[in-house]
Amino acid sequence: QQRFEVYRDLWGRGLHLTPGSRFGADFLVYPGPPPRFHALALAWCPPRGSGLALAGLVARARLGGSVRKTLLLCGAAGPGPGPTYTSVQWRADLA
């Protein structure tokens, strides 16, 4: 259900999505049709109420950085309409 809400919301914003399991994510996010554009982000939708394991977040952020993509952390719908998003970029020079 949560992944469908995220898919519908991002698609409604004009973004294109493909499966992201190869990168440990739920979706790859493109600014246009995938054959013509490179993915901008890895969208990850952790299950609601499961808590967020820091090791999983760091691993995905590092992977995103190594393939030059932002990690888009997708959350459950908050008080506003639709899901919430937090972008995470790994900075190896600060580690």
pLDDT band at 5 (very low <50, low <70, confident <90, very high): very high
Q: What is the extent of the structural domain holding 65?
A: 2-82
In a domain, 88, yes or no: no
Q: Is 38 a catalytic residue?
A: yes
Q: Number of folded domains in the chain?
A: 1
Q: Is the pTM of this model over 0.85?
A: no
Q: Is 69 a catalytic residue?
A: yes
Q: pLDDT tens digit string along 74-87?
A: 987 666 778 999 99
In a domain, 87, yes or no: no
pLDDT for res 65:
79
Note whether 13 and 7 are within 8 A (CB).
Answer: no
Q: What is the CATH number of the domain that holds 68?
A: 3.40.1350.10
Q: Is 85 a catalytic residue?
A: no
Please name the residue that has the structure tokens 């820091």: 54
What is the chain's mean pLDDT, rounded?
Answer: 87
Q: Residue 45's closest CA among 9, 72, 81?
A: 72
Give me the catalytic one of 7, 16, 30, 85: 30
Give me the catalytic one of 7, 16, 38, 85: 38
**Residue percentage of the chain with pLDDT more than 70:** 91
In a domain, 32, yes or no: yes
What are the structure tokens assigned to 36, written together? Answer: 């013509």
